[in-house]
Amino acid sequence: MPLLENGHPVEDTWRYAVEGEALGAGDVIVPFDRLSEGLGRAEGRLGVILPNSESVSVLKEALPKLAVIVVTFPIFRDGRAFSQARALREHLHFTGEVRASGHILPDQYEFLIRCGVNTVEVSGNTDMAAWERALHHFTIATQPSPVLDEKPTGFGLRRFLATP
């Protein structure tokens, strides 16, 4: 599944744990219910999938050992992961990779970034140009992002968006 960063495909060096198989060595993303198993490993970096029904506080203890947190969209209309991504940055001060996966539309890309997501897994048959365009549709936002330092435009709440 292609991974996007700043509107461009990047190499995904992570693999997802396979159900029923040992985690093995290397960089692996585990489901939430295998987090303790992942934390018990001696080698390799660790990522975790955060179900969108969980509070981010469930990752508090594990946080220093996590390099990737995947927030999930079972369907694009279920916006819980926006709040989770923002809370990971704002409340837990997580500085690693926050990755969005699931059913996501290019039209949500800017929102994801402004909530603190930095990579997005997109489906293989998606029109990459639509994602690229989505990142440049808007040069202005009308509210401060809780997680990004954007430049105010002069007065009010409006912000110039950073150009990737």
Partner 1 sequence: MSTETMTRAEAAPAVLPVGRYGYDQVDRTFLRERIEQFRDQVNRRIAGDLTEEEFKPLRLMNGLYLQLHAYMLRVAVPYGTLGSKQVRALARIAREFDKGYGHFTTRQNIQFNWIKLEDTVAALEVLAEADMHAIQTSGNCIRNITSDEFAGAAKDELLDPRVHAEILRQWSTLHPEFTFLPRKFKFAISGSPHDRVVARFHDIGLIARPGPHGRPVFEVFVGGGLGRTPLVGVSLRDDLPEEDLLAYMEAILRVYNAHGRRDNIYKARIKILVQALGTDEFRRQVEEEFAAMDRARYRIEPALVEAIKARFGAPDFAPEGNAAAVLAEDRRRDVRFDAWVRTNTHEHKAPGYISLVVSLKPAGGIPGDATAEQLDLLADLADEFSFGELRVTHLQNVVLGHVRQDQLHTVWQRLSQAGLGTANVNFITDIVACPGLDYCALANARSIPIAQKLSSRFADLELQREIGDLRINISGCINACGHHHAAHLGILGVDKRGQEAFQITLGGSGEEDASIGQILGPAMAEDETVDAVARLIDLYLVRRENGERFLDTYRRVGTAAFKDVVYAPA
Count CA atoms within 13 Å of residue 84 on its CB side.
25
Residue from 83, 97, 132, 162 binding partner 1 (CB under 8 A): 83
Encoded tokens for 107: 């039209």
Binding marks (x or -) toward partner 1, 129..158, rule CB under 8 A?
-x--x---xxxxxxxxxx-----xxxxxxx
Furthest-apart CA pair in the chain: how many Å?
56
Residue from 29, 35, 59, 112 binding partner 1 (CB under 8 A): 112
- For residue 5, the minimal CB distance to partner 1 (Å) is 18
Is 15 or 103 the residue whose CB approaches partner 1 more closely?
103
Q: What is the DSSP string of 50-70?
A: E-TTS-GGGGTTTGGGEEEEE
- For residue 83, the minimal CB distance to partner 1 (Å) is 5
The candidate with the shortest Cα–Cα distance to 70, out of 149, 59, 129, 125, is: 59
Residue from 12, 27, 37, 90 binding partner 1 (CB under 8 A): 90
Size of the site for partner 1 (CB under 8 A): 40
154 backbone dihedrals φ, ψ, rounded to 5° = 140, -50
Amino acid at 138: F
Helix, strand or coil, per DSSP, at residue 80 = helix
Enumerate binding residues for partner 1 (CB under 8 A): 55, 76-80, 82-83, 86-87, 90-91, 105, 107-108, 110-112, 114-115, 127, 130, 133, 137-146, 152-158
